[in-house]
Structure 1
């Protein structure tokens, strides 16, 4: 377990004060290269990933075209939550959008930790509540505002993301062509 992850847990659950050495065996850390796949659609998803450094994105393939649905930067978690919980084949893939350092835990170890450490269960519950709320907000926003307004809101709400997400990945996330994204970027700067 990295110091960064431990601090993130304590930030959300200040009462969490477990010796890091007790947690260390449950978590693994590794470096991954840009474009490396962590999870491929159709594989078993039994791992949840924390981004220590870098960025990941989640997508599904639609006629050989990647449809991006989610990002994760530093201090964010990412997995295919549907299949992480039910053990069925993944419906999404996860790839690195830049060289990254991640910490991860598999489902079995995750369940052991949550059963033994209620404050860690509280931490993950807070993460999942935030993620679910954000997903619902994105869905509503996508349904009720123009692509131009969505782009403006995204840039305003997530300025740290806009410079780091490759244009092709962001265009897919918005459901637009890279050319239209260039137009939006130009209009935003003007």
Structure 2
């Protein structure tokens, strides 16, 4: 069983008291394959730390699904614009496989911050958009995109099929297959 200290290690430094506060406010949840964590149009009200399993975040126009993010264990997951702006989500988050998470609602996060300033360091997890920005704002070639995700999220190529990874990288599955063959 992963401890609160392990979950929060990438967020900041927390006292024993802080860890107890976190354990008091966070809840453990189980999702089965294809369960929805957040539906398009709902407001994101929580952040989730993935203990096991994986998730897909996508936009859908009822004909095609465009992959926005692929989430793996030991990552924080949420819809950034919906959570920060408290507006309807433009994406859906669903379990790619059976999974277990720790959920911390925005309400409980605010309570934690009110009780201990250490929880202000949670701001770090809200900077996740930088991975995506780097990936798509730097005019990377398909090979460079693939190398970047292999380095930043090595498990991605073991967990998700080529079609989903290609959609995430905004390249065709054929291009990704060629890139992988040459790596």
Matches within 5 A, 1:53-132: 53-122=52-121, 124-129=122-127, 131-132=128-129
Tell me how far apart the structure 2 counterparts of residues 109 and 146 of structure 1 sit (CA, whole Å).
Answer: 42
Aligned residues: CA RMSD: 2.2
Q: Secondary structure at the match of 2:58?
A: strand
1:140 and 1:66 mapped to 2: Cα distance? 22
Residues 1-190 of structure 1 correspond to what in structure 2 (within 5 A)?
3-10=2-9, 12-18=11-17, 20-122=19-121, 124-129=122-127, 131-141=128-138, 144-188=139-183
Residues 24 and 62 (structure 1), Cα distance of their counterparts in 2 relative to 1, 3 Å cut? same
Q: How many residues align?
A: 183
TM-score under structure 2 length normalisation: 0.86
| C-alpha distance in structure 2 between counterparts of 1:75 and 1:105, whole Å | 15
* Inter-CA distance 34–184: structure 2 relative to 1 (3 Å threshold): farther
- Following superposition, the deviation at residue 83 of structure 1 comes to 1.3
Aligned partners of 1:48 and 1:78 also within 8 Å:
yes
The alignment partner of 2:159 has SS state of: coil
- 3-state DSSP of counterpart to 1:90: coil
Give the SS at the match of 1:159: coil
Change (3 A) 1:139 1:5: farther
Question: Structure 2: where are the runs of 5+ without partners?
Answer: none
For residues 158 and 90 of structure 1, the distance between their equivalents in structure 2, rounded to whole angstroms, comes to 24
Question: CA offsets, 1:87-120, max 9 Å, x none?
Answer: 2211111111222111112221121112222112
Give the drift of 1:5: 4.0
Deviation at 1:121, TM superposition (A): 1.6
Tell me by how many angstroms 1:12 deviates: 4.2
Using the size of structure 1 for normalisation, the TM-score is 0.83
Q: Out of 6-15 and 44-53, give the one that drifted further.
A: 6-15
Point out where structure 1 has 5 or more consecutive residues left out of the alignment: none
What SS does structure 1 have at the residue aligned with 2:100?
strand
**Following TM superposition, by how much is the alpha carbon of 1:66 offset from its aligned partner in structure 2, in angstroms?**
1.3
* Structure with the largest fraction of helix: 1
CA-CA distance at 1:63 after TM superposition: 5.0
Q: 1:183: how far off?
A: 2.8
